[in-house]
Every structure is written in structure tokens, then in C-alpha cells.
A and B are shown apart, each in its own frame.
Chain A
Amino acid sequence: MQIEQIEILNFLKRYSPFKELPDDLLHQTALQVDIGYFKAGTPILRFGEPLQALHLVRSGAVETYRRNGVLYNRLSEGGIFAEQGLLRDKTVIFPATAIEDSLIYFIPVACFELLYQSDEVFADYVEIGDTQRKKSGVLADKSSNDLMSSEVRQLIGRAAVTLAADATVQQAAQLMQQESVSSLLIVADQSKDAALVGIVTDRDLRNRLIAAGLDYQQPVSVIMTKELVCIESNQFVFEAMLVMLRHNVHHLPVLDQGKVLGIISIADVIRYESQNSLYIVSSIFRQQTVAELQSLSTELASCFVRMVNEDANSRMIGAAMAVTGRSFKQRLLELAEQHLGPPPVPYCFLALGSMARDEQLIVTDQDNALVLHNDYDPLLHQDYFAALAEFVCDGLALCGYSYCSGDIMATNSQWRQPLRVWQQYFTDWIEKPDAQRLLNSAIFFDLEGVWGELHWAEQLNQQIRRQVKANADFLACMARNAISRTPPLGFFKDFVLENDGQQNNSLDIKRRGTAPLADLVRVHALSIGCAATNTYERLLAVKAAGILPKGRADDLIDALEVIAMVRIRQQAKSLQAGRSADNKVKPEELSAFERKTLKEAFQILSFAQKFLKFRYPGGRQ
């Protein structure tokens, strides 16, 4: 049936959650829409007013606010608002104001309820709420992160060390030394459920014992602080800081339902603040031994978790992790040279794969290689560089970058060669590709110099760009290789639905998501001779070159962010739960929203793979 409200219908067809509706529901909706114009600056909804409609921005821009006036969300064309109020008691929860001259579509309550009850996708969409829905919707005040929104429990590093009240002061000091802690909780007696009676700190030993000239054989209860100032584990870090300042204490026992979880010190609060990548990078270069470097790897994990909690995007996290990875390598090479003496011929240490692309996460193999000066003589120099490679790769493994299972490391003599050999490798791979060479290309063609003669890395990169761009056959082979790993069809409740109908309960999101996406983008990027290695930057170049259908590059950019962030969040979740992070994703652990967006991202990837096949047909192997 032809409807008269054609413009309304056509508009609804363009935006979620309407475009997903079946035709008859969509028509019914279009027939019920009313319209209103709001000049910039005019309020659209006021707090507490009765709500009669779901609001959809037809044109212009709208901001919604919390009751305290803090910005809640900013919406543009196609954005919906007022759904939270409709789902609750049909009054306005988030007041809204037009920030540009705006046209608003009103979808009446009755129609909203019909859609909500009869269409699952629509219901899911409106339930999720608009801030989570849009990446761009992350508008919350930046200061609400960090200390303001982190709970005290995140600072607890270990269980509190306790001592009975009848122990001597000396025993207390010995226990503190042994456990390397700066405070002890004092309990009434040795029993398991003994009551907490006080706290002793470094400062008490100094001020109340040594300065007062007391005998250190007397019971610890003499110098302990009896008036305990505690904090609940779910209070915020900034509250802990305020409590410390107000009571002039440097240690706070953290309670969870009356039980002591641990103690946090003012140093913990300060360290928490400084757990950013910059701080870690600067401390990497201060470490004098491999063992000291190793101790930093736990801080790296906290830094990663923290960035995720602070809503950093995948590019920021990838870049921060890559920078620290690079710093580890550089410091290890410095240490190796101190240890082994100066290199007999110049060399360049290469990072490959995700680190070269600035897309490193917390679970990363070390992929690296050595480019040596053309004067390299195996008889004279082999021992030195083998030892150097071993030192660095072992060090990296200790710091949490596990050995590469494919043996793509500088310790492998095949990947420790003079520049001219590398140049020949690359020429051979490009001109006579076979299965193994294509796999190699996928790793080695994202390369970056980390240490030494960095211009050699640039020289190799230029060679790759020049030779690949001119070789359509190689591109076709790479394209075919890039589509060998496909995303799954989707998710269904708690399992992964495969393209052949098979069901799995988990998914390797790297193998099925980020890796094929990076492979795909690499082919497009090499075809236009793009110098960037980062997948996002490559996509921007591919978009600018106009080789993809209109809008596809932007879709891929969104898909990349969605897939990468699901992977990142899963890893952060594992780390926070005290497990080691991997790339496995179980659909049941994802939110409805994550499942939905991930499915859409996989569809975009799948479509892009089909397009790749079409654009680079053939591909002999």
C-alpha cells in the first residue's frame, strides 16, 4: 500500500531501530508520526513532564541532560530520546533542548508500546539506552573518570597482614620487614575471627617508639592507633583520599561487610594516579636489569585495565600498548649491548605485525626480526647477533610477551639476515608467492624499525609499497589469503553460529575478527601504495583513495572499533577477575548490545570480504 507520509517512511527506513522493523510495522509507525520544529536553544522536554511520545531527531541536534544539568547525551539526525522515560513511568527523566534548529518526529506512546512488545530488536535497542548505543555518545565529563569513578577495592593489592595485640613491637617491625608492608592490622588474639583492635604503621614506630625512647620489647598495643578510620570497599578512590586528608592518616583498612579486605596506603592512591602508559614508559628506561623490567609487566596490565575502564578507544589503547612494547624492546637492546659489548656491524631491530601496526594488546606474541649490515659475515658475527637476539627474546618472554609460536623471532637465523637478503626475500615473495610466502607477507609487510639503523626499515617498507602496487597477481593472491578466515554468521543466545550452521560456544575474536579485518585492509592499502601501517590510518587512506563503494570505509572503521573493543573489554575483564587474558569470547558473557553490534560488525566484515574477492579476482597460488 502506498502511504502519503512518504518522507517520514523514507526517513524511518534509514535509521535503527526502525529500519530493522518489518514493513507493516514500519508503515504503521510512519502513519502515526507527528512533527514539531524547535528553534536552537528551546527546551523540548522538561524534567517530570508527562511523556506522550518517543522523540526522533529528523534534522538538527539535541542535547539531553541529567537532573543536575550535566550533559547526558548529544543526538543528531536519526537519534532517539525519551525512551527511558517511556519505559519507566512515562515522565521525562532526561530533559532535552534543541541545540540547533531541529525538526523532531513524535512517535506516540501507543505506537511505541506496540513496537516494544511486538519487536524484539526494537525492544533490545531502546532498552540499552542511548549513551551506550553510540560511541560518540561518550560525553560524560572526563573528570568523572579516574579517582572519581574508581572504587577503592581496585587499589587493594594483597590481603592485610595481621598481628596479635600481645606481640612485641620488635616482632611487629620484623613482620613488616618480612612482608615488606608499611602497616599492620592488630587483632585481639591469634584466633581466626579475632576482633580488629588497631593499626600500626611505619610512622607509629618512628613517632611513638623511637622518638619517645620506648623499649621495643613491649607489646605492640602500646604504640598502635586504636581509633580506626576505615573505608568501605565500594567507596570511590577520591573518597579514600578525602578520608586520609581529613584524619591525617596514610593507611586505610578497607572493609567489605565488616570484614577487612586489605589496607590501602596513600602511596597506592598516588601510584594509581600514575599508572598511565607515560609513567610506565619512563620507568622502563630506568630499570637496570631484566628482572626489574619484568616487575613492570604487572603495572602494564593495570594500565591496560585502567584505560579500558576509562573508556579509551581501541586506537588509544593499541598505541599505548605498542609504545610500551617498543620501549621494552629498546631497553632490552640497550641492556644487551651493555652486556655483550657494542655490535660488530650496524643492525636494525624490527617489530612486526600488531606492534608495527600500533594495535598491540595485552596478549601478544613477540614477532620480531633483525636486519644486519651488508658487511655481516656469519663466521665472524653470527655468535654476537644470536646472543643479542636470545637476550632480547628471552627478556620479552619474561616481561609477558610470549615467544612466537611460528618462530618469527630474531632468534631464528632465517630472520636474522643482512639487508640485501631481506630485499631478496621480499622480491621473491612478491614475484613468486606461495602459501608460506603469503603467510609471511601478512606478518612481515607490517614492519617497523625499533632500534638501530631505522632507515633500513623505511627502505624495506618503500620496497614493499613499490613492488606490491605494481604486481596485480600478488595482490590477488593476498586478497585470496585475506578472506581465508571468515567471521561467524552471528550469535544465537549463548552460542556462535557458523556459516555452515554449526554451533560453537566460543569464538576466537582475533582469528575471526581483528586479524581478517587487518588482512583485508592491508590488501587495499598496499594496492594504493599507502605508507601507513595502522589499520585505522590505512582505512582513512583507502577511503580518501575512493576505491571502496561510498560509505564502506566508514562502515569498516566502525566495525574495526566494535570488534577491537569487544576483544579489549574481554581481556580487561579477565585480568580484573585475576585470570590471564586470551582472545576467546563467549557470547553469553557479552551484553545484548555487544552481541548486536558485534553481529553487525561481522556482517560488515563479511561483506567487505566479498567485495575484496570481487575487486581482486583470480589469485593463482
Chain B
Amino acid sequence: MFYLKKQELKTDPLQMLSKNWQNTMQQLELKAKDARLKAFYQAGAVAADTALQDICFVALDFETTGLDPVRDGIVSIGLVPLTLNRIHSSKAQSYLVKPRVQLNERSVIVHGITDSAIAQAADLELYIEPLLQALAGKVVLVHHLPIERAFLYHGVMSRLGEGVIFPIIDTLALERGFTQSGLQGWWRSMTAQAKPSLRLADCRQRYQLPAYQPHHAVTDAIACAELFQAQVAQHFSVSTPVGKLWS
């Protein structure tokens, strides 16, 4: 005999999990051993039904030595706190990080951070605490979630012996959703047209946001924050629950 309501039956259990970050964070707090991680998880996550207008966000961007989160490392971190009303670029923070692997030429060309620039920089381990403090209790924004989530997870894992995970809103994933939904998205899929580019600069262009020089961590974080404000203004509302957006 089933007493489950219809609504619950329809709900995808995986989606349920990802939406319930408040719970997840509480569990992670119990499992965490490192004090810095425990403190971070203790700050927790907001409830999934919290309206976007009531949330403090942090836009986050990493520049890395490559694309493999296990072998490559982070070379710079940019973060910018924001709300739906204001991007606090004046409170932006950045860290130059000395990766444990050699800088390769290809990535230096992308982000312009050279050996001499990171000669004085410290290992990621030193920045874990301030970084986690800056993110604690906030909802993190990134453009292309797999990079930031995996690099941070592995970076912390290799230093503390345990990884870190938290709710993130991916502006790229949001944009993919907008471009694939609706009549236009259907038409595109039916006619096998090229998919619209989801690169940060191209997404921004769709909202008439100015072109910025890419691959500078703080600039990219600001760019991501602006994109998010524009996306919310165009596609959601200030009272949209955060659970609809994060993953």
C-alpha cells in the first residue's frame, strides 16, 4: 500500500538530492575531520526554497595550468561577493597560487600568469582557509561548474586528505537551459543547427553586456556575476527559489 502523494512519485530522486543541500552540508559536517572544513560546512547552505533576493552569492573563477583536475593545478583564484542588487567588485579578492606542476606554455598563453609572477606565491594549502571563509554560508556562482568544482575538490583532497563540495549555480548550465528550451530551442534541435556558443563572452553578448578581456580571475568572476544578474532579470524573478538553480 502506497501513501506517497502523486507529486512525490513524480520527483526524480537525484534532483531531490541535489536540491537538498542544507541537509547534505549537515551530513558533510559530521564526516569532515579537518577543522577548516568542519567550520565551512557548519556555516551550511540556505534552504532550497530561499528566494534569490535573500541570498548572498560569491562569484568564483580559477585560472589553471590545464584542464585535468587531477594532474593540473590552480594558478589564480578570483572571487567577488554579490547580491541580486549589487556586485561588490570593491570587495573582490584574488589569490595567486603556486601550482605543484610546471606551468605549461599553452596555459600561460591563456591566462598570462608566468613563472616569475608566481615565484613569490604560496601553495594552495595556505589559501584554503581564507577561501573557505569567503565562501562559507554563501551560494557560489561559476561559469562552467565542472572545472571549479573538480579543481577545488582535488586541490583540497591532495592537501587535506579529504575533498570539499558545496552548492554551486552554473551560469553556463543556466544558459544552456535557456537556449535549449522553448520554440527556438526545439527548432534548433529539429534543424540540427549549430548549438549557440556557451562561452562566457558569448553568453554575455546575448544580454548586451560589455566585452571584457577574458582569463583574468577577478575579471572573469565579475563577468560571471554580471551575467547571473542579467539571467535572473530576464528569465527568473527575485522570488525564484534557489533550489531551482543550484546543483
Hey, which bits of chain A sit against chain B, CB under 8 A? Answer: 4-8, 31-39, 42, 58-60, 100-101, 103, 106, 108
- Could you say which of B5-13, B164-172, B206-214 contacts chain A? B206-214
- Residue of B whose beta carbon sits closest to that of A36: B86
Query: Which residues does chain A contribute within 8 Å of B90, judged by CB atoms?
Result: 5, 31-34, 108
Given A39-B233, A59-B210, A103-B209, are A34 and B226 also a contact pair (CB < 8 Å)? no
> Within the complex, what minimum Cβ distance (angstroms) separates B229 from chain A?
4
The answer to whether A35 touches B222 (Cβ under 8 A) is yes
Give Cα A60–Cα B210 distance, bound, in whole angstroms.
9
Asked if B23 is an interface residue, CB under 8 A from chain A, the answer is no
Query: Which residues does chain A contribute within 8 Å of B92, judged by CB atoms?
Result: 4-5
Query: Which residues does chain B contribute within 8 Å of A36, judged by CB atoms?
Result: 85-87, 229
Query: Which residues does chain B contribute within 8 Å of A108, judged by CB atoms?
Result: 90
Given A35-B226, A39-B233, A42-B233, are A6 and B208 also a contact pair (CB < 8 Å)? no
Query: Which residues does chain A contribute within 8 Å of B203, judged by CB atoms?
Result: none
The answer to whether B89 touches A35 (Cβ under 8 A) is yes
14 further contact pairs, Cβ within 8 A, besides A7-B219, A37-B226: A4-B219, A5-B89, A5-B218, A7-B212, A32-B90, A34-B90, A35-B86, A36-B229, A37-B230, A38-B233, A39-B230, A59-B209, A60-B208, A108-B90
Query: Which residues does chain B contribute within 8 Å of A6, judged by CB atoms?
Result: 213, 216, 218-219
Query: Which residues does chain A contribute within 8 Å of B193, judged by CB atoms?
Result: none
Which residues of chain B from 197 to 236 have a CB within 8 Å of any chain A CB? 207-210, 212-213, 216, 218-219, 222, 225-226, 229-230, 233-234
Per-residue A-contact encoding for B70-94, CB less than 8 Å = 1, 0 else? 0000000010000001111110101
- Residue of A whose beta carbon sits closest to that of B225: A35
Closest 9 pairs (CB-CB, A-B) = A37-B229, A39-B233, A35-B87, A4-B218, A59-B210, A32-B90, A7-B212, A101-B208, A4-B94
Query: Which residues does chain A contribute within 8 Å of B209, judged by CB atoms?
Result: 37, 59, 103
The count of residues in chain B whose C-beta lies closer than 8 Å to any C-beta of chain A is 25
Give Cα A106–Cα B94 distance, bound, in whole angstroms.
21
Given A6-B219, A36-B85, A36-B86, are A59 and B229 also a contact pair (CB < 8 Å)? no
Residue pairs across A and B with Cβ atoms less than 8 A apart, 27 shown, are: A4-B78, A4-B94, A4-B218, A5-B92, A6-B213, A6-B219, A7-B222, A8-B89, A31-B90, A32-B90, A33-B90, A35-B87, A35-B89, A35-B222, A35-B226, A36-B87, A37-B207, A37-B209, A39-B234, A59-B208, A59-B209, A59-B210, A60-B208, A101-B230, A103-B226, A106-B86, A108-B90
> Within the complex, what minimum Cβ distance (angstroms) separates A149 from chain B?
37
> Within the complex, what minimum Cβ distance (angstroms) separates A76 from chain B?
12
Give Cα A34–Cα B90 distance, bound, in whole angstroms.
6
- Residue of B whose beta carbon sits closest to that of A108: B90
Give Cα A59–Cα B230 distance, bound, in whole angstroms.
13
The answer to whether B89 touches A34 (Cβ under 8 A) is yes
- Residue of A whose beta carbon sits closest to that of B78: A4
Give Cα A8–Cα B226 distance, bound, in whole angstroms.
13
Give Cα A132–Cα B86 distance, bound, in whole angstroms.
30
- Residue of B whose beta carbon sits closest to that of A42: B233
The answer to whether B89 touches A33 (Cβ under 8 A) is yes
- Residue of B whose beta carbon sits closest to that of A32: B90
Query: Which residues does chain B contribute within 8 Å of A60, judged by CB atoms?
Result: 208
Give Cα A202–Cα B86 distance, bound, in whole angstroms.
71
Query: Which residues does chain B contribute within 8 Å of A106, judged by CB atoms?
Result: 86
The answer to whether B213 touches A7 (Cβ under 8 A) is yes
